[in-house]
């Protein structure tokens, strides 16, 4: 059972530390002897932010550095997630899936990831082939979205407003019966795993994680045909029609892709193709 006395004493200590200063660009946060510390760049001095003696892990700082989060030892929920600011203020606890509730999904929180200053993603495996990603609003402590994913191929858009992933496939599905799908947002929800792209009649295996354009308008992934082993690139514009590219015969080397701002560049040996923003087909550029 959580000790409210210990929690209150930590909160009081953090409030006293608040006067020592707020976020500084380039600061680092780290765990030492299972306590949280923050240090300013070049200062050589670290401030201790916790002193409760409870095991902690998965310490992560938000993209802009205004918040940090970690998981603390707990027996009352699947995970006790603590969120605070680097100056020690704004302390809050998120009781993620209390044991008295109906706990299903991930077996434990294995990773924390910030996708914005307000949203944190807790992820963990359900079984050896499937993972769950839960998006949490840290101001309310509530889960606002959830995804079941084949492996750990889930990526948020740069602003955190969209998600791309390979939709889950029921565990123990025979390899030849698999139909992995490239999914956006709520397409491939639990119970409806095959509503993404390229559809349940096509068998490809994805060979990379989803990669977003810099503005979050489109996301791409590489794939391999299960039978022919031909390599392809699938592009999913947000709100638009998918675009598929397969290297023509005679293209030497494997496909490599990268975003140049909002244009996707695909290379195979000395050949280069480009898909510009809003275009429906790749063009040979070299």
Is residue 37, in this structure, part of any structural domain at all? yes
Average pLDDT over residues 179-196: 87
Using the predicted structure, report yes or no on whether residue 15 has a pLDDT greater than 50.
no
For the chain, the C-alpha Rg in angstroms (whole number) is: 22
Q: Confirm if 285 and 272 have CB atoms less than 8 A apart.
A: yes
Average pLDDT over residues 19-42: 75
Cα dihedral 97, 103, 106, 107 in deg (nearest 10):
100
Range of the domain at 6: 1-79+86-96
Tokens standing for residue 102: 């109906």
Is residue 253, in this structure, part of any structural domain at all? no
Encode 89-112: b = buried (16+ Cβ within 10 Å), e = exposed.
Answer: ebbebbbbbeeeeeeebbeebbeb
Tokens standing for residue 1: 């059972």
The tally of domains found in the chain comes to 1
pLDDT of residue 25: 61
Say what the pTM is. Answer: 0.85
| Closest CA relative to residue 285, chosen from 256, 254, 264 | 264
Q: Confirm if 47 and 27 have CB atoms less than 8 A apart.
A: no
Is residue 256, in this structure, part of any structural domain at all? no
Give the ranges where the chain is alpha helix by DSSP (H): 4-17
Please tell me the distance from the alpha carbon of residue 29 to that of residue 62, in angstroms, as a whole number.
Answer: 11
Is residue 235, in this structure, part of any structural domain at all? no
Tokens standing for residue 104: 């299903």
Is residue 167, in this structure, part of any structural domain at all? no
Q: Write out pLDDT tens, residues 98-124.
A: 877 566 789 999 999 999 999 999 999
Average pLDDT over residues 235-246: 96
By mean pLDDT, which of 23-27, 84-88, 91-95, 251-255 is the weakest?
A: 23-27
Average pLDDT over residues 21-30: 69
Cross-strand bridge partners of residue 226? none
Longest CA pairwise span in the chain (Å): 70
| Closest CA relative to residue 255, chosen from 285, 277, 234 | 234
pLDDT of residue 178: 94
Among 11-20, 22-31, 144-153, the range of highest mean pLDDT: 144-153
Cross-strand bridge partners of residue 150? 130
Using the predicted structure, report yes or no on whether residue 34 has a pLDDT greater than 60.
yes
Q: Phi and psi at residue 177, in whole multiples of 5°?
A: -95, -5
Under the banding of pLDDT at 50, 70 and 90, the label for residue 22 is low
Q: How much is the mean pLDDT over the chain?
A: 87
- End-to-end, the C-alpha distance of the chain in Å comes to 64
Is residue 62, in this structure, part of any structural domain at all? yes
Using the predicted structure, report yes or no on whether residue 16 has a pLDDT greater than 70.
no
Percentage of residues in the chain having pLDDT higher than 70: 88
Average pLDDT over residues 174-189: 94
> Given strand 56-61, what is the order of strands in its sheet?
56-61, 68-72, 77-84, 92-98
Is residue 30, in this structure, part of any structural domain at all? yes
pLDDT of residue 28: 87
Under the banding of pLDDT at 50, 70 and 90, the label for residue 18 is very low
Tokens standing for residue 116: 């914005």
Handedness of CA 146, 152, 157, 158 (dihedral sign): positive
**DSSP strand pairing (56-61 vs 46-48):** unpaired
Tokens standing for residue 184: 């956006």
pLDDT of residue 24: 61
pLDDT of residue 88: 82
Is residue 274, in this structure, part of any structural domain at all? no
Average pLDDT over residues 194-222: 95
């Amino acid at each position: 059972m959580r000790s409210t006395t210990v929690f209150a004493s930590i909160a009081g200590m953090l409030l006293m530390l608040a006067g020592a200063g707020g976020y500084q660009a380039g600061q680092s946060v780290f765990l030492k002897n299972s306590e949280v510390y923050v240090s300013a760049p070049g200062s050589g001095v670290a401030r201790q932010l916790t002193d409760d003696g409870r095991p902690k892990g998965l310490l992560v700082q938000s993209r802009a550095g205004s918040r940090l989060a970690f998981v603390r030892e707990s027996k009352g929920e699947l995970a006790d997630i603590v969120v605070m600011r680097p100056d020690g203020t704004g302390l809050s606890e998120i009781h993620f899936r209390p044991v008295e509730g109906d706990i299903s999904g991930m077996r434990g929180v294995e990773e924390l990831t910030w996708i914005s200053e307000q949203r944190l993603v807790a992820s963990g495996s359900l079984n050896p082939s499937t993972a769950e990603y839960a998006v949490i609003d840290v101001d309310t402590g509530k889960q606002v979205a959830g995804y079941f994913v084949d492996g750990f191929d889930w990526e948020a858009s740069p602003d955190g407003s969209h998600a791309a992933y390979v939709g889950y496939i029921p565990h123990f599905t025979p390899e030849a019966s698999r139909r992995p799908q490239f999914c956006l947002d709520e397409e491939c929800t639990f119970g409806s795993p095959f509503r993404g792209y390229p559809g349940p009649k096509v068998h490809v295996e994805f060979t990379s994680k989803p990669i977003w354009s810099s503005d979050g308008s489109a996301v791409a992934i590489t794939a391999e045909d299960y039978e022919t082993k031909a390599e392809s690139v699938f592009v999913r514009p947000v709100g638009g029609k998918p675009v598929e590219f397969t290297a023509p015969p005679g293209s030497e080397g494997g496909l490599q892709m990268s975003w140049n701002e909002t244009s996707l560049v695909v290379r195979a040996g000395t050949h280069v193709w480009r898909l510009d923003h809003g275009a429906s087909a790749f063009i040979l550029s070299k």
